[in-house]
Chains A and B, each alone.
Chain A
Amino acid sequence: MFRLETAENPQTLRRIAIDPVTRVEGHGKVTLLMDDANHIHQVRLHIVEFRGFEVFIEGRPYWEVPVTVQRLCGICPVSHHLAAVKAMDLIAGFGPLPATAEKLRRLMHYGQIVQSHAVHFFHLASPDLLLGFDSEPTRRNIVGVAQDFPEIAKQGVLLRKFGQEAIRHTAGKRIHGTGAIPGGMNKGLTQAERDEMRRDIDQMIEWALGAVHMVAALHRTKPEFYNHFGEFESSMMGLVDADGALDFYHGGLRALAADGSTIFDHVDYGTYEEVLQEEAKSWSYMKFPHIRSLGAETGWYKVGPLARVQVASRLTTPLAEIERKKMMQLGGGKPVMGTLFYHWARLIEALHACELIRDLLDDPDILGKDLMADRGERRDEAVGVIEAPRGTLFHHYRVDENDQVTFCNLIVSTTNNNQAMNEAIRSVATKYLDGREVTEGLLNHIEVAIRAYDPCLSCATHALGQMPLEVDLVDADGTLVQRARRNMREAR
């Protein structure tokens, strides 16, 4: 059993609910059980949203899936689009993609990373970091940041817009495009589109670098706090290329333990079920995956920016690699584990993605016209994996001889981080809340820890049962007065 997952005597305890957790994508809630002396006995991040997506996709023809699956989530549709199409490339029997097609997909994907990381940092996280965790809550938002730090807010908006443009030029639309199709791409990039992005990219790199420096400077103001806030030891997983460098679009799975030692490396993601296992728990609609060889107790892991930049042996672009090394120095030879390092790593990735985009735009292949691979043998089962902004994303399909999907399993990034997020809030609750009178500012510490993962709760819960709903009425002391629930399995 995990520490603080389940209290021994919940009936005697006071319950505090943070519902909904704000400034995250989707709907989640946190419950804390405390005794009269404010000691914490139980902390859980619950997921109370649901989408029956796997069921919805079953029976559909395979070529629709990369487009339909984007509806799973409005937040990073491109990631689902690409993970699905990578699986469908294989199902439809296509061989390796022409260089242009793969580079266009990469451009689309890096655009998604820039836009998603920019939204997260500037819109969702910067209010806490720049204005303070317990600053006045009514101002602790992007409007407050725009008032106090107008330049930073503007850069955030423009970085996001740049990412969206990269998506639009490759996918046809800013959201829910159709650019990638089984076997390649349906549209090339025009010279004008390339030139337009090339004109702006150096500025984007400069701003992304500035943002990394800003977070690094914040760390220097309170190193103890930043290094240890929400700190806990965990394994980490991400995709790496054949040389071990981070690859957002394609590679083998690598997992490292908290001390930096290798658990597995260059695992063909088509065999992910041999190394990973998913477990359901009664109190959350999000599953708990873990590394099979280590078991459920110790096999959980982190994914996403902080895992990726540390799992990788290096980043292939110069500025981002320098920044990665600077951050990792703070671990003294071991991976850094503080939750707030996620922000730092996320911005290093945004910088990396900007540099990768520049390299792609300078590559003559990007304007190529050869967009489709050759077709060979059909397959009836395939897995597509990608490093989505929030972490490793798995799409697994079986398709019958009539071209209909008969099986679909998705492990989304946020689900991979489920246990890690629970550990993070338990760490924060123990350190900052235990034994103290709970205030809004202290509760926000919990939310800060969750937000660092940039969880997308709406796509983490695509799999089970009926739409659950729970409403808590909590009085000023945080005592539960009344609860209404619908279709919830016992979630205590």
Chain B
Amino acid sequence: MTDFETFLLDGRPVRFTRGQTILEAALAAGHYIPNLCHHPEFRPHGSCKLCTVKVNGRLGAACTVKAMPGQEVASDTPELNGTRRVLLQMLFVEGSHFCPGCEKSGACKLQALAYDLEMLTPHFEHFYPSRPIDASHPDVLIDFNRCIMCELCVRASREVDGKNVFALAGRGTASHVVINSASGKLVDTDFALSDKAAHVCPVGAILPKRVGFAVPIGERLYDVDSISTQAEKRVGEEV
């Protein structure tokens, strides 16, 4: 009989099955580790680094490091949370996250994490990017000013929809998501509202058109419970 194996997360034992990442095992056990580019249906991406933990004293992304028996993992520490706040602040200033006017407000992972990790100010100077918004598609609006480059749309379009509508272009601070069509416009792709890629964006960059603010403030996803509380309530689900 194969017993469950365990590792220690902030001193508490967490059971896992072989092959699970630290993040997967932690979430399945109802222990929240902040994460942004992770999505249970997609292979780990490891780009946002919000999930960074210390595994036996060494830094690693919980969404990519496999769980191993006997690991000692530190996550909810002032030091790591402080670094996570800095990462969030950089994401906020690098894009244009004008929450009050954004349909995703209250259901946005970036915003929810900022609340959860008590990010009080953006701290750094805003870049104020002015990226054009692509409203060419009849059903979906894209505002890349809000993109955090998690590449979930890229992955979803390629792996689930089999379409390859999005791609990452440029390098370093100039990297950005582009649309794979001759005109660079969404309308000239075979993208559809029913695509997986239309529904995976963790922020308000890819949104269905004409449904602004139908859900009142106070009743939105993270208005009810914080992102960490929600994760803790979802014990046992695939997350």
Give A contacts to B, CB under 8 Å: 59-61, 63-64, 66-68, 70-71, 92, 172-173, 176-179, 181-182, 186-187, 402-404
Contacts and interface: CB of A to CB of B under 8 A. Distances in A.
Given A64-B103, A68-B100, A403-B141, A179 B135 contact: no
Nearest to A402: B135
A103 B217 CA distance: 20
Given A63-B212, A403-B209, A172 B217 contact: yes
Contacts of A92: 210
A164 to B, nearest CB: 15
B115 to A, nearest CB: 15
29 contacts: A61-B133, A61-B135, A61-B209, A61-B212, A63-B209, A63-B211, A63-B212, A63-B213, A64-B101, A64-B103, A64-B212, A67-B101, A68-B100, A68-B101, A71-B100, A71-B101, A172-B216, A173-B217, A176-B100, A178-B216, A181-B213, A181-B214, A187-B219, A402-B135, A402-B136, A403-B135, A403-B141, A403-B210, A404-B133
Which of B210, B212, B219 counts the most A-chain CB atoms under 10 A from its CB?
Answer: B212
Interface of B: 98, 100-103, 132-133, 135-136, 141, 209-219
B213 A67 contact: yes
Nearest to A378: B210
A181 B212 contact: yes
A63 B219 CA distance: 19
A142 B143 CA distance: 45
A59 B101 contact: no
Nearest to A170: B216
B217 A177 contact: yes
B217 A178 contact: yes
Contacts of A70: 100
Contacts of A182: 212
- 10 shortest A-B CB distances, which residue pairs? A63-B212, A68-B101, A402-B135, A187-B216, A172-B217, A178-B213, A186-B216, A172-B216, A404-B135, A181-B213
B212 A67 contact: yes
Nearest to B134: A402
Contacts of B217: 172-173, 177-178
Contacts of A68: 98, 100-101
Given A63-B213, A186-B213, A403-B209, 4 more contacts: A61-B135, A172-B216, A179-B216, A404-B133
B174 to A, nearest CB: 22
Contact of B210 (A63, A172, A173, A186): A63
A68 B102 CA distance: 8
A106 B100 CA distance: 23
Contacts of B216: 172, 178-179, 186-187
Contacts of B135: 61, 402-404
A173 B209 CA distance: 24
A348 to B, nearest CB: 33
Nearest to B106: A178
Nearest to A185: B216
A177 B133 CA distance: 24
B175 to A, nearest CB: 23
Nearest to B217: A172
A325 B71 CA distance: 82
Contacts of A177: 217
Nearest to A400: B135
A182 B135 CA distance: 18
A484 B101 CA distance: 36
Contacts of B132: 59
A88 to B, nearest CB: 9
B100 A61 contact: no
A93 to B, nearest CB: 10
A176 B217 CA distance: 10
Contacts of A404: 133, 135
Contacts of B141: 61, 403
B215 A186 contact: yes
Contacts of B101: 60, 64, 67-68, 71
B214 A186 contact: yes
Nearest to B209: A403
B159 to A, nearest CB: 29
Nearest to B207: A61
A15 B230 CA distance: 63
Nearest to B214: A186
A177 B98 CA distance: 15
Which of A67, A178, A402 counts the most B-chain CB atoms under 10 A from its CB?
Answer: A178
A166 to B, nearest CB: 16
Contacts of B218: 172-173
Contacts of A66: 213
